[in-house]
């Protein structure tokens, strides 16, 4: 069983990633933490509580940063709806949060863990960067950082920048250059992690969790349900932990632009012409059919 911490900004694809991660017996989710991203921090935190309540999980939850390091905060409510998880009538939650900021709570759990922990980030990297800069001693207890972010094709906020990196490029730069083993899933792969309209209709028939995800998916604007399908960006990180053979990777140097009109853009030195250094393991291919079959199989096993 692999111990993980997930830092998230639910968000509809986040909700689906959490659904699978919290319920798969091969993963032990030590805690969740929330960050401002798709919607503001109050909404992302309430949404994380709703998912934990839905599956009756006692996974600890900590609230993180409400703003990026330096840049002005911009949300993605045009894709995820005003509250970030519109479409399903979750009851209000009475769940209590951990008392400290996410970076402190992550540090406490990582240092207390006997085995190394994997940090999975599926929102902007603000909390992760704070963790690594406030408590660099955690690095020796981290096995890997698995990130959904960046693009080496077009962007989804402008012509080149992906949302999670664009929100907080300074934080992304800190984590990517932390010296830790970083595995990163950018738009080259995640825009091809698709569920088609037929798949989404199937999700609806897959029990209580399937009905909940179906309601969220029908309110999600990440992709085109009538044409190519909906993009399951964040789920790629969880799929990788469970079925890494679905992806192909290349070790490379990934640079993040932090200023000016290109801020949030990531550039990969895939041909090795710029430097011999390699700071990430970049996902470069996905087996689309295997991904789709895996995701539907995971949902069908949920209670
Ligand atoms: C990323 O941005 C968010 O909208 C999604 O949840 C995902 O984490 C995709 O660019
Ligand atoms: Ca996300």
CATH number of 2-300: 3.90.245.10
Tokens of 59: 């996974």
* Cα separation, 145 vs 271, whole angstroms: 24
Q: Which atom of ligand 1 is nearest to the CA of 38?
A: 4
Q: Name the nearest CA neighbour of 35 among 57, 61, 56.
A: 61
Predicted confidence (pLDDT) per residue in 189-239, tens digit: 999 999 999 999 999 999 999 999 999 999 998 888 888 999 999 999 999
Q: Going by CA atoms, what residue is nearest to atom 10 of ligand 1?
A: 163
pLDDT at position 17 is 98
Of all residues in the chain, what percent carry a pLDDT higher than 90?
96
* Cα separation, 106 vs 104, whole angstroms: 5
Predicted confidence (pLDDT) per residue in 38-69, tens digit: 999 999 999 999 999 999 999 999 999 999 99
Active site residues: 233
Predicted confidence (pLDDT) per residue in 105-124, tens digit: 999 999 999 999 999 999 99
Closest ligand by atom to 187 CA: 1
The domains of the chain are located at 2-300
Backbone angles phi and psi of 208, in degrees to 5? -60, -45
> Strand 229-231's sheet: what is its strand order?
194-195, 229-231, 223-224
């Amino acid at each position: 069983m692999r111990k993980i911490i997930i830092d998230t900004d639910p968000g509809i694809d986040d909700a689906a990633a959490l659904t699978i991660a919290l319920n798969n017996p091969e993963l032990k989710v030590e805690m969740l933490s929330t960050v401002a991203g798709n919607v503001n921090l109050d909404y992302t935190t309430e949404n994380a509580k709703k998912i934990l309540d839905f599956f009756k999980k006692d996974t600890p939850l900590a609230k993180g940063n409400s703003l990026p390091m330096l840049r002005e905060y911009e949300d993605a409510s045009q894709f995820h709806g005003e509250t970030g998880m519109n479409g399903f009538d979750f009851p209000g939650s009475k769940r209590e949060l951990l008392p400290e900021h996410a970076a402190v709570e992550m540090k406490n759990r990582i240092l207390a863990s006997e085995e190394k922990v994997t940090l999975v980030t599926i929102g902007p990297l603000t909390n992760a960067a704070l963790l690594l800069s406030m408590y660099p001693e955690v690095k020796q207890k981290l096995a890997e950082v698995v990130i959904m972010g960046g693009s080496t094709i077009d962007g989804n906020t402008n012509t080149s920048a992906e949302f999670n990196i664009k929100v907080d490029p300074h934080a992304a730069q800190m984590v990517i250059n932390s010296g830790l083993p970083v595995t990163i899933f950018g738009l080259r792969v995640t825009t091809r992690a698709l569920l088609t309209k037929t798949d989404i209709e199937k999700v609806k028939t897959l029990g209580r969790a399937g009905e909940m995800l179906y309601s969220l998916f029908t309110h999600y604007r990440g992709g085109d349900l009538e044409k190519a399908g909906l993009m399951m960006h964040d789920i790629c990180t969880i799929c990788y932990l469970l079925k890494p053979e679905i992806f192909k990777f290349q070790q490379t140097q990934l640079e993040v632009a932090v200023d000016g009109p290109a801020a949030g853009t990531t550039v990969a030195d895939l041909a090795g012409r710029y430097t011999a250094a390699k700071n990430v393991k970049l996902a470069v291919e996905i087996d689309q059919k295997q991904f789709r079959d895996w995701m539907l199989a995971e949902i069908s096993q949920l209670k």
